[in-house]
């Protein structure tokens, strides 16, 4: 029983990070109708910036801020310098270009830092606290929960309560009309990319200390899990991404706890296939008329 | 969902313009392809005697990659389905051939034909796996399909570690391959034999693919790519066509992976990582989507570029650590940049540029004659 409680709480804390990463995917999908396959590589690049700053200044928090800032900047640069020029008529082109970016970013990271695992520092203890005899969350897990919670609330507030959020939604929903009404549609798109990439950088900062360490490929499997989370919730639905992230986190925790951690990639693939074949629009999709 | 139009060059005037040669040589497609294959085979044999053993081995590797890139061209370029999982399908072929060859070696049976049996078994196994993925893929579009195949590419190499009783984990399986037949003489170089085997298998695969693409099936592939609704209205079973394209493509990838394992005499998960899948995609995009000739350029690039960066980093005097980092990663960086630039600036790839150049020259020549 206490094993089940531990696995559940552990799964939820991993799930919170998947939720943040899935949210980043959903943000770009809603703004630009692109699934950003380079998200993982961009987030790792931001984490390497944090590593560099951390090593230079000795302060984890300066590195953390640097990673968020680098994430925002990288997202904006990718949109302005690359994605703006991609032919969007074919759904394959943005995917292929994003994969080119993956190769490029991972290669540059490999050239600068080498293809080896580097230890990633955690700001809080990762030893689980015990409450009433149960091993429950560690201080680091609580930090991850809090960070993701703050970001989710801040994004929800931005999109529903502020003028910028309204402009961003309008620019994505009806670009032509928004432009006529004086909204800077291109700018809103860039802002969307920057925000999404910043959230992705946060997720990388949170998850890398819990895994093997910093490596150019550190986020490959996380990306697949987060993509699954986004698909489970529906690519169009931010609340869906959060719920999907938590579900995927729970599933992975149970599978690795009860069946062996080797099987987690297979479980992700099975879940992804099951959701896509049974309910391709995700659990939170509104009912739509069928398109042909 | 809108039709999943592949990244075919918008400049290619009409499908009819591309199909014109077929109309000109009606009825002789098989003979024409056979002639091309015969010339290529003769050329290959001549080259295999003319160059040093290491180049022979490199050419054999190109041939192995060519099977996979040709398969991916059929799927992505001609049927409009994106697959990031072809590296995983190559792994299926490689491990099948390894298991077969080991089984034959354990049973003590010898003979040159055993390798052919193993290769056929590899293709059949990959076809079965490809059919399973293809049935799922036929219901998915665009980024969803890319995501699923990406998951396949990440998961399949991990499976070899999960079931390390059969697949021997990270270390992988060795592939025992017999020496060249004695009839070729005692001093026949092994690399030349490798090139002959890989070249023969690849040319056979290309002949079959080229004929398939000129047939009714090839036309339905392209019709589904260009407009699913129109294809359905014309009486084409879209899902069945997509599954068929996936199966054909998987067969190519399986043969490529099997040949690669035979050449390297081992099959290990490290050789079939996600990066390989991305490399294959990059190769067909840069070579030119939608043309089998583009697959040749792509496969050649996959072998030549790492070799080239190796030469360059040898020329520069670098510390060993820096050189090692550069050597592994510089080709990736170049591939990445090229992929982005080609997609934005020249979606037709190398072959698209060549055929545009050819058309322009032809037009100028006609103008001058009239």
pLDDT, tens digit, 9 for 90 and up, residues B261-302: 999 998 988 888 888 998 898 888 888 887 888 889 889 988
- Mutation site, B2, B7, B73, interface A, largest A CB count within 10 A: B7
The yes-or-no verdict on residue B5 having pLDDT over 80 is no
pLDDT of residue B14: 44
pLDDT of residue A291: 52
Q: Please judge whether B329 and A107 are an interchain contact, meaning their C-beta atoms are less than 8 angstroms apart.
A: yes
pLDDT of residue A77: 95
Q: Please judge whether B162 and A266 are an interchain contact, meaning their C-beta atoms are less than 8 angstroms apart.
A: yes
- Which comes out higher in pLDDT, residue A264 or A292? A264
Instruction: Quote the minimal CA–CA distance from B169 to chain A in Å.
Output: 11
Chain A residue at shortest CA distance from B278 = A99
Over range A40-66, report the average pLDDT: 92
- Which of A21-30, A271-280, B107-116 is predicted most confidently? A21-30
pLDDT of residue B9: 45
Residues of chain B with pLDDT > 70: what percent? 92
pLDDT of residue B22: 44
- Which comes out higher in pLDDT, residue A61 or A90? A61
pLDDT, tens digit, 9 for 90 and up, residues B295-347: 898 899 888 888 888 787 777 777 777 777 777 788 888 888 988 888 888 77
- Mutation site, B1, B132, B133, B146, interface A, largest A CB count within 10 A: B146
Touching check for B158 and chain A: CB below 8 Å?
yes
* Both tokens assigned to A261: 């951690």
Residues of B whose CB is below 8 A from A104:
332-333, 336-337, 340
Of B141, B159, B325, the CB nearest to A110: B325
Touching check for B12 and chain A: CB below 8 Å?
no
Chain A residue at shortest CA distance from B164 = A262
Over range B141-162, report the average pLDDT: 86
Question: Is B137:B148 a contact under the CB 8 Å cutoff?
Answer: yes
Put simply, the chain B residues between 127 and 146 with a CB less than 8 A from any chain A CB are: 136, 139-144, 146
Residues of chain A with pLDDT > 90: what percent? 47
Q: Please judge whether A227 and B151 are an interchain contact, meaning their C-beta atoms are less than 8 angstroms apart.
A: yes
pLDDT, tens digit, 9 for 90 and up, residues B111-140: 778 889 999 999 999 999 999 999 888 888
- Give residue A263's pLDDT band: very low, low, confident or very high (50, 70, 90): confident
A47-61, A117-131, B139-153, B209-223 — which is least confidently predicted? A117-131
Put simply, the chain B residues between 227 and 246 with a CB less than 8 A from any chain A CB are: 229
Q: Tell me what the pLDDT averaged over chain A comes to.
A: 88
- Which comes out higher in pLDDT, residue A33 or B60? B60
Of A103, A223, A266, the CB nearest to B335: A103
pLDDT, tens digit, 9 for 90 and up, residues B212-253: 998 999 999 999 988 889 999 999 999 999 999 999 999 999
- Which comes out higher in pLDDT, residue B12 or A104? A104
Touching check for B362 and chain A: CB below 8 Å?
no
- Give residue B27's pLDDT band: very low, low, confident or very high (50, 70, 90): low
Over range B349-354, report the average pLDDT: 80
Q: Please judge whether A96 and B151 are an interchain contact, meaning their C-beta atoms are less than 8 angstroms apart.
A: no
The yes-or-no verdict on residue B68 having pLDDT over 90 is yes
Residues of A whose CB is below 8 A from B141:
91
Phi, psi for residue B174 in degrees, rounded to 5 = -90, 155
pLDDT, tens digit, 9 for 90 and up, residues B188-199: 888 888 899 999
- Give residue B86's pLDDT band: very low, low, confident or very high (50, 70, 90): very high
Of A85, A91, A263, the CB nearest to B143: A91
pLDDT of residue B16: 43
pLDDT of residue B291: 81
pLDDT of residue B320: 74
Of A97, A217, A292, the CB nearest to B343: A97
DSSP state of A130: E
- Give residue A198's pLDDT band: very low, low, confident or very high (50, 70, 90): very high
């Amino acid at each position: 029983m206490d094993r089940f409680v531990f696995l559940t709480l552990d799964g939820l804390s991993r799930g919170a990070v998947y939720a943040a990463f899935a949210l980043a995917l959903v943000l770009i999908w809603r703004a630009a109708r692109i699934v950003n396959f380079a998200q993982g590589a961009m987030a790792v690049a931001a984490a390497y910036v944090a590593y560099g700053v951390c090593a230079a200044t000795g302060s984890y928090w300066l590195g953390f801020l640097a990673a968020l800032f680098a994430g925002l900047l990288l997202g904006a640069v990718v949109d302005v310098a690359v994605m703006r020029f991609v032919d969007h008529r074919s759904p394959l082109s943005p995917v292929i270009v994003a994969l080119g970016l993956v190769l490029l970013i991972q290669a540059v990271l490999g050239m600068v830092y080498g293809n080896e695992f580097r230890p990633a520092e955690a700001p809080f203890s990762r030893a689980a606290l015990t409450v009433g005899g149960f091993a429950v969350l560690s201080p680091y897990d609580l930090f991850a929960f809090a960070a993701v919670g703050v970001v989710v609330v801040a994004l929800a507030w931005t999109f529903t309560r502020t003028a910028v959020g309204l402009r961003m939604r309008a620019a994505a929903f009806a670009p032509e009309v928004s432009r006529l009404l004086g909204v800077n549609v291109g700018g809103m798109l860039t802002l969307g990319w920057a925000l999404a990439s910043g959230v992705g950088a946060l997720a990388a900062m949170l998850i890398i200390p819990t895994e093997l360490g910093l490596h150019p490929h550190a986020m490959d499997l996380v990306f697949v899990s987060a993509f699954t989370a986004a698909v489970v919730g529906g690519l169009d639905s931010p609340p869906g991404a959060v719920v999907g992230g938590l579900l995927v986190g729970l599933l992975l925790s149970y599978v690795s706890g009860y069946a062996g951690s080797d099987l987690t990639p297979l479980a992700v693939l099975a879940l992804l296939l099951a959701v896509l074949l049974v309910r391709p629009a995700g659990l939170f999709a509104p009912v739509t008329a069928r398109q042909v | 969902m809108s039709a999943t139009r592949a990244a075919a060059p918008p400049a290619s005037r009409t499908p009819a313009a591309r199909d014109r040669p077929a109309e000109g040589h009606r009825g002789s497609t098989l003979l024409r392809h056979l002639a091309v294959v015969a010339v290529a085979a003769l050329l290959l044999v001549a080259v295999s005697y003319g160059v040093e053993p290491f180049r022979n081995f490199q050419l054999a590797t190109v041939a192995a990659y060519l099977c996979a890139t040709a398969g991916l061209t059929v799927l992505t370029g001609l049927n409009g389905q994106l697959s990031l999982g072809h590296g995983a399908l190559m792994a299926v072929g490689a491990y099948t051939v390894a298991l077969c060859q080991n089984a034959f070696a354990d049973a003590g049976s010898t003979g040159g034909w055993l390798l052919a049996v193993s290769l056929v078994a590899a293709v059949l196994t990959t076809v079965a796996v490809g059919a399973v993925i293809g049935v799922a893929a036929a219901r998915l579009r665009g980024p969803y399909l890319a995501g699923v195949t990406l998951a396949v590419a990440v998961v399949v190499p991990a499976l070899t570690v999960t079931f390390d009783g059969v697949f021997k984990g990270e270390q992988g399986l060795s592939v025992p391959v017999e020496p060249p037949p004695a009839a070729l003489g005692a001093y026949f170089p092994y690399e030349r034999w490798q090139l002959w085997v890989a070249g023969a298998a690849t040319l056979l695969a290309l002949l079959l693919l080229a004929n398939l693409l000129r047939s009714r099936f090839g036309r339905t592939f392209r019709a589904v790519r260009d407009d699913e609704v129109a294809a359905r209205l014309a009486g084409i079973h879209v899902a069945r066509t997509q599954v068929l394209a996936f199966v054909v493509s998987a067969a190519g990838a399986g043969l490529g992976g099997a040949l690669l394992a035979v050449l390297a005499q081992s099959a290990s998960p490290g050789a079939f990582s996600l990066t390989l899948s991305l490399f294959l995609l990059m190769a067909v995009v840069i070579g030119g989507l939608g043309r089998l000739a583009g697959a040749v350029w792509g496969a050649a690039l996959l072998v030549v570029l790492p070799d080239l960066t190796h030469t360059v980093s040898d020329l520069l005097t670098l510390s060993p650590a820096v050189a090692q980092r550069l050597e592994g990663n510089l080709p990736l960086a170049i591939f990445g940049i090229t992929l982005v630039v080609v997609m934005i600036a020249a979606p037709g790839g190398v072959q698209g540029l060549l055929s545009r150049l050819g058309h322009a020259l032809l037009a100028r020549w006609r103008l001058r004659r009239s």
